[in-house]
Structure 1
Amino acid sequence: MTISTVFKSGEFIPKEYTCEGADLNPELVIQNIPEGARTLAIICDDPDAPVGTFVHWVLWNFPVTSSTVTISKGLQKVENLPDGTKQGYNDFGRVGYNGPCPPRGHGIHHYHFKAYAVNSVLELKGKVTKKDLEKALSGKIVTQTEIVGLYERK
């Protein structure tokens, strides 16, 4: 499984997808999704944050309709999307995606966009966090992949 998006792994994330821009989630194209995958889950986090790993996005139950699917740029920041996709709470305390926003002068941060092909629809309720999603994914991941984007605020 591979992810292509507006930046390649190891490249800088365009400002549009950060707190200094429109703060929209980037479009993600997930390719080579294996048979047996019913949904996708996405976690985006930053292990370089001064407080420890900081979560920017928690998404699950994105429907897999073929071996390649596209998660559109700028999804609504709501818990329930019309296609059945769900979004949880990031470490800003908000639903949906909030992009890179490292402290000024803190150097380059690495943002891990992790995609999981899941063999089922996950039943999660309440104020879902990364920890809740990771627990629900246990034993249900068909395969996974990730890309790492970079960002620095000067």
Structure 2
Amino acid sequence: MPEHSGEAITILKVDPWRDEGLIVASPSQSPDGRLADRHSAYHDNISPPLTWTEVEDAQCYALIVEDPDAPQDKPFVHWMVWNIPPEAGGLPEGVPHAMYANPPHPIIQGRNDHGEHGWFGPRPPEGHGVHRYYFQVFALGERLEMPPETPLEELLNALKAATIAKGEMVATYEAPTRQ
């Protein structure tokens, strides 16, 4: 098994219609980039709050969180969300683990690589060092008529066709050391 995935993350595979980017941020990220423990699968496993800048003409947004440092062939998918309404401006902390969530607007959550719908927090292997988590946001020109069981490859194809603009935030996390 590889030490890190060899495949590019999703955002590198999508060319938006416009050159403008969006700014993605989270108050749960420390100045050094580390994601707060409560968002880790080692702790409370609750999704972090996110905000992003608005893109004119966006009909909805999609979010994919991937870890390219995972010791597997492809980046580990921690979260796939789509049809986030344009007025949402982000996602609150603690989005429920469900195919359809309403935080405060209805969204669709795909299956993460842990096999669940919704957020699966960082859980890098002990001793594997710091992992990077790419929070990739896509402003879309149309809603995606795709069910929650849609695999990443199909979501990627839809993003290639519908992305107006994109942006990302990179957070880091390392396995806690045992005392």
TM-score (norm 1): 0.92
Q: Which residue, 35, 42, 46 being the options, matches 2:63?
A: 42
Give SS of 1:138's match: helix
CA distance in 1, matches of 2:143, 2:31: 28
CA contact (8 A) 2:81 2:107 kept: yes
Distance verdict in 2 for CA 1:98–1:126, change over 3 Å: closer
Distance verdict in 2 for CA 1:9–1:87, change over 3 Å: farther
CA distance in 1, matches of 2:169, 2:65: 10
Q: CA RMSD in A?
A: 1.6
Report the count of equivalent residues: 151
Which of 1 and 2 has greater Rg? 2
5+ long unaligned stretches in structure 2: 1-21
CA distance in 1, matches of 2:116, 2:68: 19
Q: Which residue, 25, 28, 31 being the options, matches 2:47?
A: 25
Compare 6-15 and 80-89 and name the one that shifted more.
Answer: 6-15
Residue 130 of structure 1 corresponds to: 152
CA contact (8 A) 1:45 1:54 kept: yes
Residue 95 of structure 1 corresponds to: 117
Distance verdict in 2 for CA 1:126–1:12, change over 3 Å: closer
Matched, 1:73 2:93: yes
Residue 109 of structure 1 corresponds to: 131
1:130 to partner: Cα distance: 2.1
Give the residue type in structure 2 aligned to 1:7.
Q
1:15 to partner: Cα distance: 0.5
CA distance in 1, matches of 2:71, 2:39: 21
Compare 109-118 and 78-87 and name the one that shifted more.
Answer: 78-87
Question: Hey, which of these two has a bigger chunk of helix by percent?
Answer: 2
Question: Hey, which of these two has a bigger chunk of strand by percent?
Answer: 1
Distance verdict in 2 for CA 1:130–1:106, change over 3 Å: same
CA contact (8 A) 2:61 2:139 kept: yes
5+ long unaligned stretches in structure 1: none
Give SS of 2:138's match: strand
CA contact (8 A) 2:139 2:163 kept: yes
